[in-house]
């Protein structure tokens, strides 16, 4: 695999940003592989993703930070630098439904997700044998009304122990506490089994069937304190008819959930997502 670095930039829109970044990289012998940008005229924002080959690049990460901060200050940039040689450490949380978990583990073992799945945490033991098959640590933490705070504290200890960078809720059927969400800003990805903002919360299949909708969907989003209202990363839909019963909707939804969640996780791992104003920009 080619060793690359990726720079993500978010700042007020202004002339000269692209030229300044390109000249800086050229000065230090970078070979730019991909560059993409987006202007939001309404909010006067500029967003950019640049990826370059590190083979002949002359700066270390610390040197880059030192030299690039002058440009960042000039344009009031929020920015981050990522190397594809550092694989993000991932924790997957799941309850009883295993279809998203199975899909993620399969893609991970096939090399489609360039990360390290460090552990799986569940409040049920149903998926333990599946996780053991992939030789990934499985941790059962029971949750009820009386022990929720204690259970989350145990989860925090595990995430700290494994230095987790990303938490994936693969149909984890528990509402996270505000403390949980605050600890991991923009580091928790959820899959919701409806086309948000329609049918927020529980039993969207049943409500969609009762409403007689003709399209159903799945949504992957970052988790915020507001239930199912975090920045949307990916969505997809499938057409249904009056002949489809709730069970048919469930099966079609599960197929959508697998694909939508895996796309969102891959884009996050590949540093293709920039967030602003509760929205996301997904760079190709």
Active-site residue list:
228
Sign of the dihedral through C-alpha 166, 172, 176, 179: negative
Angle, to 10 degrees, between the axis of helix 246-269 and the axis of helix 99-109? 40
Contact 39, 9 (CB under 8 A): no
Q: What is the DSSP letter of 40?
A: E
Distance CA 77, CA 84 (A): 22
Ordered alpha helix ranges (H), 44-202: 61-74, 99-109, 128-133, 148-161, 178-183
Is residue 236 within 8 Å of 255, Cβ to Cβ? no
Give the number of other CB atoms < 10 A from CB of residue 18. Answer: 14
Q: Could you tell me where the DSSP H helices lie in the chain?
A: 17-27, 61-74, 99-109, 128-133, 148-161, 178-183, 204-211, 246-269
Q: What is the DSSP string of 158-174?
A: HHHHTT-SEEEESS--S
Within 10 angstroms of residue 167's Cβ, the number of other Cβ atoms is 22
The token duo for 252 is 């079609």
């Amino acid at each position: 695999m080619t060793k690359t670095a990726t720079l993500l930039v978010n700042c007020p829109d202004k002339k000269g940003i692209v030229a300044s970044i390109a000249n800086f990289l050229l000065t230090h012998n970078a070979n730019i592989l991909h560059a993409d940008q987006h202007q939001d005229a309404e909010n006067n924002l500029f967003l950019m993703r640049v990826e370059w080959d590190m083979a002949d690049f002359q700066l270390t990460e610390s040197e880059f930070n030192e030299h690039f901060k002058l440009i960042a200050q000039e344009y009031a940039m929020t920015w981050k630098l990522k190397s594809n040689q550092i694989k993000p450490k991932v924790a997957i949380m799941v309850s009883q439904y295993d279809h998203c978990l199975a899909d993620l583990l399969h893609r991970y073992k096939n090399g489609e997700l360039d990360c390290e799945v460090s552990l799986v945490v569940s409040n049920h033991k149903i998926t333990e044998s599946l996780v053991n098959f992939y030789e990934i640590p499985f941790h059962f933490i029971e949750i009820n009304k009386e022990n929720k705070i204690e259970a989350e504290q145990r989860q925090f200890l595990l995430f700290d122990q494994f230095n987790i960078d990303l938490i994936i809720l693969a149909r984890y059927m528990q509402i996270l506490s505000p403390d949980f969400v605050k600890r991991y800003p923009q580091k928790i990805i959820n899959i919701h089994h409806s086309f948000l903002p329609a049918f927020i919360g529980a039993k969207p299949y049943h409500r969609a069937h009762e409403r007689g909708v003709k399209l159903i969907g799945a949504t992957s989003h970052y988790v915020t304190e507001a239930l199912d209202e975090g920045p949307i990363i990916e969505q997809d839909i499938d057409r249904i008819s009056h002949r489809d019963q709730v069970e048919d909707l469930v099966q079609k939804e599960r197929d959508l959930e697998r694909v939508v969640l895996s796309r969102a996780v891959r884009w996050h791992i590949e540093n293709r997502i920039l967030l602003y104003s509760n929205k996301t920009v997904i760079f190709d």
